[in-house]
A and B are shown apart, each in its own frame.
Chain A
């Protein structure tokens, strides 16, 4: 087993260098086309994709943190993957800040100054009441704060993880346990507030206390799908001999369980609003029901029924091909879920699912893959001196 702890780094192939760049080029073309056809649509598509990919990178930071805090041993063998994925956070956060600065009038109704002018016919009492929270300077401050917290913690995890490789000191592990616990506190608050800021405030009048946790559930399950797919890819390329079907079974369980958890929160939010039928709340689902019906119903099937049936059995979670299928479905499914959170409040009834939407997604995916593979090529794929490495190597369930 010792020979499995190699210090091999990921070597980028020619395709690894070319394909992400082609994907990014497609993305750029899609965005340019978007701005030429409809500015609002282009901003909305950018926000949708930037948020989605940032959320998956954030989920990786969360994965690292809770595995340290919970002293999980099995996941040590794959921890370099979420570490590498968090490298995308810097691109994602810069993107979100820029999208807000340049696109806020198209995306966020509450940013229009006339809403707060009592003399104006556009004056909005409710939004004026929220202006202590929803105002441009405070909003940008919050975005910057999220960037600092998320990127800062991710870099700290990475730093100690790599130092552990070189000097093998247990101090780094202990430091990461503390960092993990502290990050969870920050994450608990920022995962909710960022969801209110970036997504919920698009529908400026609407509110739901569960929204933050609902977004978190989607973020986590799609992040798990990404971690799983990168693991499968590296295993296919022969970098992951220390990972066996037992580890795959565990990442599969996370995808399965949190698909159900997402559904639980989806149902809780929808059912309570539908049951009480208060106009100020039900308007959110009413819009989606009227104008996005197929996708809104499909969302439930793609993100619940499909992963539930595909990943239910033990054997399924131990099969690489089935995990690939499950991972792709979850990835696309939650892309649709975020689409349904962004579009009705921005482009409204004028929604499209065409080259601009998919092209931009491909572009972001290219950047995501490029960033992750690049990070993977910088450090050994197998952590060298992690105190729980033996547990992970001998993982058997």
Chain B
């Protein structure tokens, strides 16, 4: 599955991907340590903060259910704002996981093996956070099964198959299922390792159940690799399709600023961009707290930064293309929408987006910056913020002033809406912290396969 170039032939110009003097046993020890030991003080502090934030979000959601969508800042003109911004933002963040596990697998990038597990976990948590917004925006979440094309008791009442919103229901639920299966499949051999090392019977029993009786025989591995390749092949079009369909939500309309053909690939690039930023934010903390610096090396960070600069620049080219075409098209509504974005009442959102997404990632052209963990951490936060603003700018500035000037208005979120968003961030981090305590954050079995090829003590020696 992974490239079988022998260590002897690997080019010297490639940096090692595993540092320190590692044996297979040492790798198991290093990666299982966070699961087998007791949680430290930092973990508990982080957990309490995130869980509290999550609880606040739950309270705000409860208030929304009790009082209806009127408790949000939406109005007749701006019927979509904070909620859909958060939805798109979270879905985008999920994309890095699938890109790393599927597309980088097809491209035979070995460095993905140190980060794919956490990135895939992040995908799943991010999609859960994203899903909450449309579910609650319907106002009557107990009727959300109406979104499925079920035969029903209301006569000929069917979902609207012409609506991209319905395509979203299908795309995201498929994406979620495939990502979950893919992630879990990779976990099986590692769960078996933990099972075999468990010292309490309960732990042995639970991990035994979770690992489906994995024995690690050649037959097990053969099937494992076949399924992984099939899932990678499935996930690749899926990861492209999800954000493509999210972009259709806007681009099929005739709203100036929404209806533009570049949206599908540009949304996908933006999603990968924001996803990698979130992977970096999380991994830079995780490698420190869990002492995994020899597995998630500066080389890994540099490579991810290169993807950030690539996707960030693609997004930048798309912004400029849209702006240029708004003028070139000669359509006055289109031109106005873009003028209004940059110089209208929401100018601050537009310029925050431009600064965070287009300008800051360009700093990664300097090798010193892209190989600095601290600088990367700061820039990754900038990108996270910038990509949130991107969605806010696209959504709110396009509809708050459309074809009918008498309906022009402004939008600002309420305390409740902000609370729900902050709550999803709490939910995301809570899930991730729990994940880091019960599952290995690095794909141990997979990483072992490249140890003798790319670790610094074996590189160039041949085995």
Binding site for B on A (CB under 8 A): 71, 73, 125-126, 129-130, 133, 170, 173, 184-185, 188-189, 192, 205, 207-213, 253, 260, 264-265, 268-269, 271-273, 275-276, 278, 280, 387-388, 390-391, 393-397
Contact = CB atoms under 8 A, between A and B. Distances in A.
B13 A387 contact: yes
A212 B3 CA distance: 34
A391 B261 contact: no
B253 A265 contact: no
B330 A130 contact: yes
B4 A396 contact: yes
A349 B159 CA distance: 42
Contacts of A210: 260-262, 264-265
B254 interface: yes
Contacts of B5: 73, 391, 394-396
Interface in B299-339: 310, 313-314, 317-318, 321-322, 325, 328-331
B252 A276 contact: yes
A73 B11 contact: yes
A73 B109 CA distance: 11
Given A192-B317, A278-B254, 10 more contacts: A129-B330, A130-B328, A188-B317, A207-B325, A209-B260, A278-B259, A387-B11, A390-B9, A395-B3, A397-B108
A253 to B, nearest CB: 8
B6 interface: yes
B240 interface: yes
Residue from A205, A209, A394 with most neighbouring chain B CB atoms (10 Å): A209
Given A264-B264, A272-B261, A395-B5, A173 B317 contact: no
Closest 7 CB pairs of A and B: A209-B262, A210-B261, A126-B330, A268-B264, A390-B9, A388-B11, A275-B252
Main secondary structure of the interface of A (DSSP, over half): helix
Contacts of B14: 71
Given A208-B261, A209-B325, A388 B331 contact: no
B279 interface: no
Residue from B4, B237, B330 with most neighbouring chain A CB atoms (10 Å): B330
Contacts of B325: 207-209
A189 B331 contact: no
* Residues of B in contact with A, size category: 35 or more
B328 A273 contact: no
26 contacts: A71-B13, A185-B313, A188-B317, A209-B261, A209-B322, A210-B260, A210-B261, A210-B264, A210-B265, A213-B265, A264-B264, A269-B261, A272-B248, A272-B251, A272-B260, A272-B261, A276-B253, A276-B254, A280-B329, A387-B11, A388-B11, A390-B9, A390-B11, A391-B10, A394-B6, A395-B5
B244 interface: yes
A393 B5 CA distance: 10
A192 B252 CA distance: 23
B244 to A, nearest CB: 7
Contacts of A173: 13
B429 interface: no
Nearest to B265: A213
A97 to B, nearest CB: 23
A248 B329 CA distance: 43
Nearest to A268: B264
B81 to A, nearest CB: 22
Contacts of B313: 185, 188
Nearest to B3: A397
Contact of A133 (B251, B318, B328): B328
Contacts of B350: none
Residue from B11, B14, B240 with most neighbouring chain A CB atoms (10 Å): B11
Interface of B: 3-6, 9-14, 106, 108, 237, 240, 244, 248, 251-254, 259-265, 310, 313-314, 317-318, 321-322, 325, 328-331
B259 A272 contact: yes
A260 B233 CA distance: 13
Nearest to B11: A388
A232 B313 CA distance: 35
A280 B329 CA distance: 9
Contact of A268 (B4, B13, B265, B330): B265
A397 B261 contact: no
Nearest to B237: A260
B321 A207 contact: no
A265 B265 contact: yes
A386 to B, nearest CB: 9
A31 to B, nearest CB: 32
A371 to B, nearest CB: 31
A394 B9 contact: yes
Contacts of A205: 330
B9 A391 contact: yes
Nearest to B109: A70
Contacts of A387: 11-13
A133 B329 CA distance: 12
A390 B6 CA distance: 10
Contact of B317 (A130, A189, A395): A189
Residue from A170, A173, A390 with most neighbouring chain B CB atoms (10 Å): A390
B224 to A, nearest CB: 18
Contacts of B260: 209-210, 272
B11 A268 contact: no
B201 to A, nearest CB: 44
B11 A391 contact: yes
A135 to B, nearest CB: 13
B312 to A, nearest CB: 11
Nearest to B252: A275
A395 B3 CA distance: 8
A212 B320 CA distance: 12
